[in-house]
Structures are given as structure tokens and as C-alpha cells.
A and B are shown apart, each in its own frame.
Chain A
């Protein structure tokens, strides 16, 4: 398969940036999207090596993009493809997208996440430090290592464990934030709040946790939630917005108690 790629190029956080246009050929439909990006980079590096290509102005160099596990679980990939977070397929991260989902000859536009809370580092690479900071503010059960009761000491309703697991499936990619017109991190934050609030171990400090994480989120400049549900639509792990409702409840309860 052959494609025309329009790829966002930006040297660093301060650079203005532009779209680079590249032609790419002979891509196997069984290749993953990131394997296609590898081939593009091989081509761009070889153009840097080739003096003829350089003299014709081909000196963009390889495209920086975050990738690691390439099986949809580490959550590092962060490409906005043809106007959608993680591209045209549903329920997957970019690394699980395959070229058979595109038409031969198609023009594909590739951009980084664009959101105030996740500034560009280079090309398609963004900083998600803010997400770490929110979790550091309270996304845990405050227990030290050791001195713990037996794992079966507290039975947990299976339904609760399952729903907690649904929320805990969040990979922290940031697609919800990149998709949200307000740049809100509510789905991400609520997934953690809800996952822990559903379990007796996390219940103990549920209110404190919700307050701490929400206030950190606000402090870091993420937008408000206006219930458009776009986040849920684009979440590669189908995290439900019911978790936002649960977080709001925890947050309100905490505020009332104050």
C-alpha cells in the first residue's frame, strides 16, 4: 500500500511547528501503524545520509514519536490520526492500529495530542507529567509495605471488583484529554478515584483522595467537564463516564463534610 503522510514537525516546545509531507510506498496491510512510522523514519534517515536528497532539501530527519510496548498496554503512544485520538479503529491504542484500516493511496494526517495540559516536547511527543502529578496528589491507598492482613481477610463483592478493574484498565495515554474540547482530565482522574473507591481498602480515604486529586487537576489548568462524552468514545479501554459521576459524588460528599 502507498500513502501520503502529513506529519506534524516541531523542533521543541518553543518552536512554531509545521506539517511535513512525505510519500511512503510498499507498506504491508498487516503492518502496524507504528511499523509504518518506522519505515518512514528509515526513509527520512536515509535521505539525511544521501547527499543528493539533502541537496534537494530533504533534511527533516526522523519523526520523534513515543512508543514502547506496542501491544496496547503501556499507554505511551499518543498520535492524533486523521482527527481522531489513536486513529480510525475503535477500542485500541495507536500501536494496535493496522494499515489494513486505511485505503491504498490515502492521505493520512498525523498530529500530537494537542491540549494545554500536555505540551509538545518534539514532533509527536508530548509531556504528560501533569498526569503523574495528579496521581501523586492522592491516587493511592495510604499503606506502607508489610504488616498487612491476609488477602482474603476482607471479602469483596465480585461486581465491585470487576467494576474497579474496568476503571483500573486506564492506561494513562491522555486520549480523553486530547479529545475533550475543554481539555478536561475528568475521565482519567475519575478512573483512578472510582477504581479505589469501589474497594473496601480504598474506601477509607475515598473523600480525601477525590478532593486532593481534583484540586491538583484544577491547579494544573485542565478544563472543566461539560458532559459531551467524547472522552468515553475515544478511550482505547472504554472507560465509562459513570466513573466521572462517582467521582463527583465523592467530591461533593467530601465538600459537604468540610
Chain B
């Protein structure tokens, strides 16, 4: 196994690793590219950009998307921006500084080589997107504007209002559309990957369900790229889209791909609080709001009481009675501390009884001083769509009264383990974007997910996959009549038949919500041994109950959303357990992973570099068997390990 976990990070100085690696890996000639087939699953920033770039190179690409159009992928909802080390504002930014901030923001649990490469290609992404016609925000002089994001002291975030993800995805989708038009890419919409097919231990294709007809299809290729995003929906309530899911990743894990750091989950500090039991998902308010918004709760408990009973408005509480707790605790970064730090600080205040709404689970994000300083029109220009979204959901005008926010599940840093080539432990199976574990360590910085998705898809995978495909130019097209396809197809069909046959008493959502409660209470913002052990037992029991008592209406041969959900929840009930197992094993606090046993007197995270400076790599060894953990030790050659300090 240790051989399997070779990260393949090139030797040499940081700034030369990628250049050296590119010069040493193999390439495929144009004539041979035409003979090679690549499957890309998912059409978010990673998948769409990869499919487009591979199509441009001349490979035969098939791209699969669960939605009615590639443009719906959840990258579209990213609001605030995308980082790059352009240094346009002349504030002394550099590739090294972006690299350093990302490594530090990730609490020293990511690979130096990968993160440096990410920072290195970041500038190319901005060039590429502008060339595609992405309408980034501009200054009056006609040049690009930047703003600040958490975890950084420079302004390096490019943005398109509060809709940056949308605009970047429309750029990648347009590039993809062009390749579809040119015949280099074939796209399959409303198609869901249900399993991975291996022949002689190598990824050779996938089993797909046509979501309109229910037809189970076989698709073969020379390589399979997973770009299906994260698995935050295990928590039921998250900022992820309803259909985002970790099932494709989970199927790869069950076929032997190692899963890296499954417990590393990001909890975003600024989401609209839960309104009640009928809630189906949570809405993010962009981190960019922390550029101008100030976060506070009252200093006095009596003010809290009055707020909860609507006897006073937030705007009526005088300045001296407000506790701007992030500015108080972290003077150097203030409201722009990284997400994990801001989330825990909100939880700390709410746990101490200062939550400002009737559930006690909310803090204020206030624009009063920004509106005074800049004028309402500037705030409207910067965040207009976010303010509108907030008002539509809550019926409160955030220009007059502060927003109420609370942390929510947003992103998963963990994912399929990949080497420097983005290849998993299964040969010819690649994973990019949020679906892999690689670049964010224990915590992702804001505006870095878009950067990673596009870096992987446009500028890294198209090079590294060539190294693998160069060895396959003589390999004929995958024959989907091979017994391996028949076998996997049968297990998929059997699983579906089994779900219908249960005819239990509870709808699918019931189990998903139950799982969500277990996960949020025990594997959420604060984790401890007792809670995690309890969660493992409860998830197992819930899984058994699911397979005895779920009810899935209708049949397979139709458009059946309940069946789609059931298949995902079945996977979530296994994935959630692995997350808890991993969180239990990691007896340290780092980034978003906060083990309550491991904190400083001031309540900050306490890392244990001696025992946990590794990627926890989990291997599936069979149903109802304890997964086996391997370690990829992290080596810091260039960065000096430090305690993250956002105070001074």
C-alpha cells in the first residue's frame, strides 16, 4: 500500500517542481489523441473545464451531468470570487504569498508541491477567463478590480458582482459547448454515474442511469475523470445544491480508490440561519460581505433577551454595547479571519448565550458603518444581489437592519486521494476539483475553490493525463461487452431492485434528515470522542433501519426522483460513518476539524504535528468491515510550521 501512496511530488526547489515535471512527463501525438477516449463525470468548474480542454487537445471526450444542462452544476452558486497572484493592486502579492496563505490557511495539512503549483497557475486562469468573455468587475480605467477575502492581507480576489462562480462556469460551459459543437465532446445530460468499472484493476468505464428513462447504460474509455464535487450533503442541511452528492466518489472508494481526510469539512461562517423543521437547505451569504460587514453580538444579556422577543431592533443597540468579537479577538485580521476561525467564534458566542434570534443560533453581520463610510450605492453595487437574496428569504431589509447569520456546512476538503498527476490509487482514475482531497488541507480559504477547479481542469489534468494515456496508444477502445461491465451492471440493477422491494414505512428524506442530525450534532463544528463514538453506532443503526424500512415509490423505468435520492442516501449512510471514523482517529484540532479535547486555553485549535502531520488515507476492505487507514506523511521543506496566528 505504501507504494500505492506515492505522491510523486517532483524533487527540487518549489518554484521548479511543476516546470520540471511537465518537461519530464510524456505527451500524446495529435493522431493518437484521436484514438483515445476519456470519460469526465460532472460539469462544474473542474469537469467542464477539463472536458473542454481535453476536447480542444483532440481526445474523444464523453461528459456526464446529472442535471438538465452542464450549466446547472453547483459551481454556479459560488458568489465571492477567485484568487490569483496577479499583484495588480501593487500590494506585494506573489505566487509565493498565495501559496503560503493557502498552506497556512489549511493549517499545514496540504502538500507543499501541490499548493505551490495551484498558486503558480492561478494567473493563467484569470487570463483564460477574460479571453472567454467573463465580465469581471473593472475599475473606471478599464482594468480589473480586486477585493479581499479571509485569511489574506492582500487583495487578490477577482470577482463578477456576487456571481463569480456563475460567470466562470458560464465561461467553462461555453468552452465546453464549443467542443460539443465541434464534435470533440459528447455530452450526456440527466445521466448519473452509479458505478465504476475496473478491468484488471484499471478504471475502464462507468455504469450510468439515464434519469429520464431509467435505462442502465455502459460507457467505456481509456481513462475516467471524477469531477463530481463534494459530499457536504451528508449533513442534509448544507449550502450545497439539493442534487450535489458524494455518490460517484463513494463508488470509486468502494472499488478501491483511497479516500483522503474524509472528516475535513468546511463550515462557512456566514449563512442564513435555520428557520425551522421545514428547512430543506441553507443559503450562503458570500464571504466577500466580510470586507465591509462587521460581525457582532450584544455585550449585555438583557439586550439579547430584548432582541429575541422583538422588544428592540439591532440598530437601536448603542455602539458601546456591541461586542465585535472577531475584531476583539483577532485584531490583525479582524472580520477577515479564515472561515473555520470565524465559525467557531460564532459558535462560542452563541453557546455562551449571546445568539441574537429566537433559536439562539445567530449573530449579526452589520453594514451600518460601511454604508455611512461609502454610501448605500457603493454597497448596492458590490453586494446588491446578495442583499436582495437575503431580503427575499428573511423579509428583512439588510440596508436598514443587520443580517443575521450562522455557520453551515459548505465544502469538503477531503475526497479521493490523488497523486501529483491527480490520479487516484486506481490506475487511469483521476479526480479533480472538490472531488479530490489535494490542495486545501484542513481548511480551504475563500475564493480558492474556483481557483482549484479551474486550475485542475484547464491547466493541470490536460498535461498529467497525457502521461497516463501515452502508455495506451496501442490499447483498443474499451469493449463494454466485457464480463466486468456485465457484472457491475448487474450489481447496480440488483441494488435498485432491492430498494424497491423493501416497501417500508418511511420516505427517503426521513433517513436523510436523521443522518443530518447525527452528523451535525457529533461530526459538525465541535467533535469529541464520546460524540463520535455515539455517531458511529447511530449511523450503523440508521443504515440498517434504512435497508429495512425505506419506501421508494414508482419504478426504475421512469423519471423517478425518489429513487435518485434513495441511491444517494444509501451511500451517505456509509460515507457519514467513514467521516466519523476519521474524525475519531484524528486526535488533534486542525483547520475545520475541531476536536474539543485539543484546544488551547483561549479556545483555539491545538495541532499535534508530531502524531498527525499526515493525510489519513482510508482503504475500503469490504461491507461492514472496519476500513484500513494508511498514512501519507507530509513533509514541509520550504515552509516553517507555525501556529496559525490571526491576532497580530
Contact = CB atoms under 8 A, between A and B. Distances in A.
A140 B175 contact: yes
B139 A195 contact: no
Interface stretch (B66-74, B249-257, B344-352, B397-405): B66-74
A201 B393 contact: no
B131 A143 contact: yes
B276 A148 contact: no
Contacts of B68: 66, 76, 127-129
B76 A74 contact: yes
A111 to B, nearest CB: 17
A202 B170 CA distance: 14
B360 interface: no
Contact of A195 (B76, B133, B144): B133
A148 B242 contact: no
A168 interface: yes
A31 B181 CA distance: 42
A121 B212 contact: yes
A130 to B, nearest CB: 11
Contacts of A195: 133, 135
A145 B553 contact: no
A142 interface: yes
Nearest to B50: A145
B142 A151 contact: no
A141 B561 CA distance: 36
A4 B52 CA distance: 47
B181 A136 contact: yes
A73 B459 CA distance: 27
A50 B187 CA distance: 41
B575 to A, nearest CB: 20
B132 interface: yes
Given A145-B53, A145-B458, A70 B562 contact: no
Interface string A105-126: 0000000000000000110010
Contacts of A73: 76-77, 163, 166
B128 A145 contact: yes
Nearest to A132: B69
A70 B283 CA distance: 8
B297 interface: no
Interface stretch (A91-99, A224-232, A247-255): A91-99
Contacts of B212: 121
A100 B278 contact: no
A75 B72 contact: yes
Contacts of A137: 181
B226 to A, nearest CB: 20
Interface residues of A, number: 81
Contacts of B170: 168
Given A70-B241, A92-B392, A38 B132 contact: no
A132 B177 contact: yes
B139 A141 contact: no
Contacts of B166: 73, 168-169, 171
B462 interface: yes
Interface in A149-174: 149-152, 154-158, 161-162, 164-165, 168-169, 171-172
DSSP class of A's interface residues: helix, strand, loop or mixed? Answer: loop
A150 B551 contact: no
Nearest to B165: A73
Instruction: Name, among A49, A71, A141, A149, the residue most crowded by chain B CB atoms within 10 Å (CB to CB).
Output: A71
A224 to B, nearest CB: 24
A139 interface: yes
Contacts of A139: 174, 177
A62 B561 contact: yes
A48 B507 CA distance: 10
Given A68-B67, A70-B281, A157 B142 contact: yes
Contacts of A96: 389, 392-393
B570 interface: no
B280 to A, nearest CB: 5
B132 A140 contact: yes
A69 B76 contact: yes
A200 to B, nearest CB: 9
Nearest to A74: B72
Contacts of A11: 558
Contact of A35 (B129, B144, B279): B279
Contacts of B138: 156, 158, 161
A88 interface: no
A235 interface: no
B523 interface: no
A146 B67 contact: no
Interface in B367-419: 388-389, 392-393, 395
A82 B163 CA distance: 30
Given A74-B76, A100-B395, A172-B69, A42 B509 contact: yes
Contacts of B473: none
A12 interface: yes
Interface string B507-539: 101000000000000000000000000000000
Interface in A173-220: 195-196, 199, 201-202
Instruction: Name, among B170, B241, B275, B392, the residue most crowded by chain A CB atoms within 10 Å (CB to CB).
Output: B392
Contact of B509 (A38, A125, A155): A38
B546 interface: no
B144 A72 contact: no
Interface string B417-431: 000000000000000
Contact of A75 (B56, B71, B144): B71
Contact of B128 (A100, A128, A131, A146): A146
Contacts of B126: 151
B505 interface: yes
B478 interface: no
B88 interface: yes
B393 A98 contact: yes
A68 B241 contact: yes
B5 interface: no
B499 to A, nearest CB: 14
Contacts of A35: 278-280
A98 B392 contact: yes
Interface string A12-33: 1000000000000001101110
B130 interface: yes
A146 B124 contact: yes
A240 interface: no
Contact of B142 (A66, A69, A158): A158
B278 A31 contact: yes
A141 B181 CA distance: 13
B559 A27 contact: no
B86 interface: yes
B77 A148 contact: no
Given A49-B505, A196-B133, 18 more contacts: A12-B559, A31-B278, A62-B553, A70-B242, A71-B284, A71-B389, A72-B389, A121-B559, A122-B559, A128-B69, A132-B177, A139-B177, A140-B177, A143-B131, A146-B459, A148-B128, A154-B130, A165-B137
25 contacts: A28-B276, A39-B278, A48-B553, A64-B559, A68-B67, A68-B74, A74-B72, A91-B388, A98-B392, A132-B69, A132-B177, A135-B173, A145-B49, A145-B56, A145-B462, A146-B124, A148-B124, A158-B142, A164-B133, A165-B137, A168-B160, A168-B170, A195-B133, A196-B133, A199-B133
Counting from the closest, the 5 A-B pairs by CB-CB distance are A155-B142, A140-B174, A165-B135, A164-B135, A151-B130
